[in-house]
Amino acid sequence: MLAAVAAVSAGNYAELGRWDDARRLVHELIPAEHLGVREELRAIVATAPPKAWNDASLLSLDLDFRGAAEAFAAMPSPTLEAWQRRSAGIHLIEAGRRAEGEVELAKALSFYRTVGATFFIQRAEALLAKSA
C-alpha cells in the first residue's frame, strides 16, 4: 500500500513539475538516477505476491491505461481509476485517437468534479481545448 501511495504522490509531484520531489519518492521505492524506471518498477511488481494492485500496476507500466483503470475500478479505487483514465485520455489524444481519448478524459473529469479536484479538472479541460 505504501508503494501505491508513493507512486501516486510521485506522479502528482511530476505533474506539478516538482521533479526533485518526484525523484525522492521514486528513490524510496527503488534506487535510480532519473525517472526512466519503467523496467525497474516492472521487475519489482512482477516479483511481489499476486494481488489486484500488481495486475493494475503492470497494465499501467505496459501503457494499457484503460485496462489499469478497469482494474482499479474493480477494487474499487476511484482515485487511481481516474488517474489512469486521465493518462489514457492523454495517451490516446497524443496518438491521434481523439474520440477515444475524450471518452476517457470525460470519465476522469466526472470523478474529479465530484471531489472538487480543480487542478486536474483544469488540466483535462485545457487538454481537450488544445486538441480540439
pLDDT tens string 85-101: 999 998 999 899 999 99
From the number of C-beta atoms within 10 Å of its C-beta (0-12, 13-18, 19+), residue 81 rates as buried
Residue pair 58/77 in contact by the 8 Å Cβ criterion: no
Instruction: Flag whether the pTM goes above 0.75.
Output: no
Which of 48, 25, 22, 107 has the alpha carbon at shortest distance from 57? 48
Q: Which carries the bigger pLDDT value, residue 27 or residue 71? A: 71
- For residue 57, give the 3-state DSSP assignment: helix
Residue type for 24, please? R
